[in-house]
Amino acid sequence: MPLLPGVLEVRALRQTAKMAVIGARHRKNDTRRQALGYRNDTLPAALWNTSVNDAGHLEIGGCDSVHLARDFGTPLHVVNKDRLVADFERFHGAFARCWPEVILGTSYKTNPLPGVIRQLHQLGSWAEVISHFELWLAIQLGMPGARIIYNGPGKTRESIRLAVGHDLALINLDNASEVDQVAAEAQALGRIQKVGIRVVTSVGWSGQFGNSIASGEALAMARRIVASDGLSLAGLHIHLGTGLKHLPTYLQAIREVCVFAQTLQSELGVTLSYLDFGGGFGVPTVRPMDEWDQRLQANGYPPGPIDPSANPTPETFAQAVTGLLREFYDPGHPGNCPTLIFEPGRAITSSAQTLLLSVIAIKPGPNGSRKVILDGGKNITIPLGYELHEVLPASKMNSPYGGQHQLYGPLCHPGDILVLWKRLPDLEPGDVVAIMDAGAYFIPNQMNFSNPRPAVVMAHDGTAELIRAREQFDDIVRLDQLVD
């Protein structure tokens, strides 16, 4: 009998210890799920302003989701108009109650559906665009230049010409060559173009974006702008990231921006009209996946819960942000107060949109689980690779829940995994499932991968209107040419 355990025994001990830690984590998560109001490992449908009708089907905007799937086919995006409007008004209202002038710019890239964007413009939003195409789209949608903000690290010369030609409200400049190009276009038209500087603070995204305040880069940009004919330095812009739920990070960045605004005043005599704090606000029902979620799922457990209360409400955000701004500005004197711009993308559109998918086939999975093959894959659900989203059994909302399901797409690709672990009722071919919070970064990230892209309907008061037709096979190859 050896005194020391052999390699195999050490491995087995390690594995047992690892499984004990993972099991303990799972039990802790389960207790948290109960406390958070989860039923059957699932958040309540009411969190998305959806409901369950007498047929036991998920209802969105008063429309039976199973009827929508039947009438329009799947995969199908359903925009809940009332929820979209409510999320916009809540966010805007929260800030507008605390500050004299507040503008929300609709982030085109978050959800570039013209039907959704137009709805938000009708509520008073400006357009926040980051490419020539988006600028073109804003103009097509009837937005005057005075309600368009142009951001992004790679503005082409043609797009700058178009932007200056339309006398945009604000072009947030990212680099020195943009300063010179915008100035040249403005001079050619004999016009003064209002510009901002995208700055980088000690927190949030930096990478290829913006100009560091700490290194002096931002001040050098400001000097260059002030010295250029045709430009007026009107604002500062930040965008810290996406899906952020940590208020102190925001406040830290905003403080640094305000201090920098004071430097601009004292060094260059510049008074800013706009402070643009970008987007990035998280939503209650989505959580970025972490290492624990991956580990739990790989070992046959559900990922950790989504805690909706972990996301600061718009009111909490607004009070904290404007409270901080009052240290620098007096909103009692609106003339001396900058207009605040926010560019919330996902906070407005995420929870208002659901992706309906149909079950094509069911197969037995490991340890009694079931593999579900759906008619939409990773090509149209990219965010499921890095975020946790709720999945509801749209056609079986009142059925008893069974065991673990793994959800796959139809792509004939080993990476076509939508959700690795989900308890659901025992689904059959033809059943419909709903991927919740499909309104941010699903549409802009979608690709064909051998399939047409989905149709989109807007549901309101029991009626659904098509706002984007399903792509046809012809559409996919329309720009191709056969050459001999």
Decide if residue 128 touches ligand PLP (CB under 6 A): yes
281 phi and psi, to 5 degrees? Answer: -65, 130
- Which among 54-62, 272-280, 399-407, 466-474 is the span making contact with ligand PLP, rule CB under 6 A? 272-280
Q: How far is Cα 429 from Cα 7, in angstroms, rounded to an integer?
A: 47
399 phi and psi, to 5 degrees? Answer: -80, 150
Q: How far is Cα 407 from Cα 300, in angstroms, rounded to an integer?
A: 14
User: Would you say 279 or 377 has its CB closer to ligand PLP?
Assistant: 279
* One residue of 29, 65, 119, 151 binding ligand PLP per CB under 6 A: 151
Residue 384, token pair as written in the block = 């499921």
Site for ligand PLP, residues 310 to 369, rule: CB under 6 A:
343-347
Q: How many CB atoms lie within 10 A of CB 386?
A: 10
- Beta bridge mates, 193: 231
Decide if residue 383 touches ligand PLP (CB under 6 A): no
Largest CA distance in the chain: 93
Q: How far is the CB of 312 from ligand PLP (least distance, A)?
A: 14
393 and 427 Cβ atoms separated by less than 8 Å: yes
- Which among 17-25, 251-259, 274-282, 463-471 is the span making contact with ligand PLP, rule CB under 6 A? 274-282
* One residue of 107, 131, 354, 369 binding ligand PLP per CB under 6 A: 107
User: Would you say 183 or 440 has its CB closer to ligand PLP?
Assistant: 440
Spell out the residues 6+ positions from residue 227 whose beta carbon is closer than 8 angstroms to its own.
none
461 and 467 Cβ atoms separated by less than 8 Å: no
Which amino acid is located at 408 in the chain?
Y
Q: How far is the CB of 244 from ligand PLP (least distance, A)?
A: 7
- Which among 213-221, 278-286, 377-385, 426-434 is the span making contact with ligand PLP, rule CB under 6 A? 278-286
Decide if residue 437 touches ligand PLP (CB under 6 A): no
105 phi and psi, to 5 degrees? Answer: -95, 130
User: Would you say 280 or 409 has its CB closer to ligand PLP?
Assistant: 280
* One residue of 95, 250, 281, 301 binding ligand PLP per CB under 6 A: 281
Q: How far is the CB of 79 from ligand PLP (least distance, A)?
A: 16
Decide if residue 278 touches ligand PLP (CB under 6 A): yes
Decide if residue 242 touches ligand PLP (CB under 6 A): yes
Q: What is the DSSP track for 284-335?
A: TT-EE--HHHHHHHHTT-PPPPP-GGGSPPHHHHHHHHHHHHTTT--TTSGG
Q: How far is Cα 120 from Cα 442, in angstroms, rounded to an integer?
A: 18
Decide if residue 111 touches ligand PLP (CB under 6 A): no
User: Would you say 59 or 128 has its CB closer to ligand PLP?
Assistant: 128
Site for ligand PLP, residues 28 to 47, rule: CB under 6 A:
none
Q: How far is the CB of 209 from ligand PLP (least distance, A)?
A: 8
Which amino acid is located at 36 in the chain?
L
Spell out the residues 6+ positions from residue 168 whose beta carbon is closer than 8 angstroms to its own.
145, 146, 148, 149, 150, 193, 194
Residues that bind ligand PLP (CB under 6 A): 107, 110, 128, 151, 239, 242, 278-281, 343-347, 440
